[in-house]
Amino acid sequence: MRPLNKIHHFSATVANLDQTLHFYRDILGLRLVKQTVNFDDPDSYHLYFGNQEAEVGTIITFFSWKYETTGRVGSGQVGTMAFQIPLGSMRYWLSRLEDFSIPTQQTDLFGQPTIEFNDPDGLTIAFVETQTTSETPAILSLYGGVLLSANPQETVQLLTEGLGMTLIRKSAFGYHLVFGEEGEQQLIVPKEALAPGRFGPGTVHHIAFLVEDDSLPDWKIRLQEANYVVTKIKDRKYFQSIYLQERGNVWLELATGTPGFTVDEQLETLGEEFMLPDKFLSQKSEILKRLPKLNVL
């Protein structure tokens, strides 16, 4: 069983999916790769965005549950979701975000040139310019994230000793970890233990890590032996996964890379049709009547 080496996806909650679709597809240039429902709540949408090939490691997903209030960012959540952009593309992205009246801040949060900004629901996004070159300025992949922990030391211990990440440095802000010795993707755990957050629109529900396809039973046993409460293996149609809430209260998911998003659609037409898992297929017409119509064109 190998240590983790990649982020699989992020999942966040938003208030208005048409607004989210416009922002991530039309402004940031990600592809809508799947229209489906929350597999635990078929009366709410679950949208997946990624690169043109819908590759694991480029995926960000959104739920839209009916909340009476917006969420509150705090411990138990992911605070910043970061994407990798190509070398030399920062000027392009600063100009593009300015064209859409999106305020930005230039930082070195991840130890490299970074643009930070917010989406329409207040989710914090970061673009990290790395040494990777590309013919276009398009987003390359997920880069990392900031995990808001109620117990930073315990969170770091699980990420390093339990999941195989490497602590590369301690800044005034927090602990910086990478996958493997020289991994490009980076997680930051702030040193400050934050007050509890409240899930709802404008918050990130969980971060998922990629694992080998046949390793979930072993990961489940290993984490249970370390006294974590782990869910059963769940069939998410496009991958299998398990979930746990670590001791800083952040929800983590371990997910396989297969069968992938082309299991029910062709690559060329991904995201164009509303798709359901087999258990809900007989209810498709009723589910569609209950869901608001999406402006996907």
Report the DSSP beta bridge partners of residue 57: none
Does residue 297 lie in a domain region? no
Does residue 1 lie in a domain region? no
Place of tokens 């990629």: 210
Nearest 5°: the CA angle 148, 40, 63 is 50
CA atoms within 13 A on the CB side of 161: 8
CB-based burial of residue 169 (10 Å sphere; 0-12 exposed, 13-18 middle, 19+ buried)? exposed
- For residue 284 the two structure tokens come to 């498709």
Using DSSP's 3-state secondary structure scheme, residue 22 falls into helix
Does residue 296 lie in a domain region? no
Using DSSP's 3-state secondary structure scheme, residue 54 falls into coil
pLDDT of residue 69: 78
pLDDT of residue 65: 73
Does residue 2 lie in a domain region? no
Distance CA 229, CA 233 (A): 13
Distance CA 288, CA 263 (A): 21
Q: How many domains does the chain have?
A: 1
pLDDT of residue 68: 65
Distance CA 243, CA 256 (A): 12
Question: Can you say how many angstroms the Cα of residue 128 is from the centroid of all Cα atoms in its chain?
Answer: 15
Q: CB neighbours (10 Å) of residue 75?
A: 22
pLDDT of residue 33: 97
Distance CA 4, CA 198 (A): 28
pTM of the model: 0.95
Does residue 295 lie in a domain region? no
Query: What DSSP character marks residue 135?
Result: S
Query: What DSSP character marks residue 223?
Result: H
Does residue 283 lie in a domain region? yes
CA atoms within 13 A on the CB side of 137: 13
Residue 99's domain spans which residues? 7-290
**CATH code of the domain containing 231:** 3.10.180.10
Are residues 24 and 16 in contact, defined by beta-carbon separation less than 8 angstroms?
no
Q: What is the mean pLDDT of each run of 10 residues along the chain (297 residues)?
A: 88 94 97 95 94 96 82 95 97 98 96 96 96 96 97 97 94 92 85 93 96 95 97 97 97 97 96 94 93 81
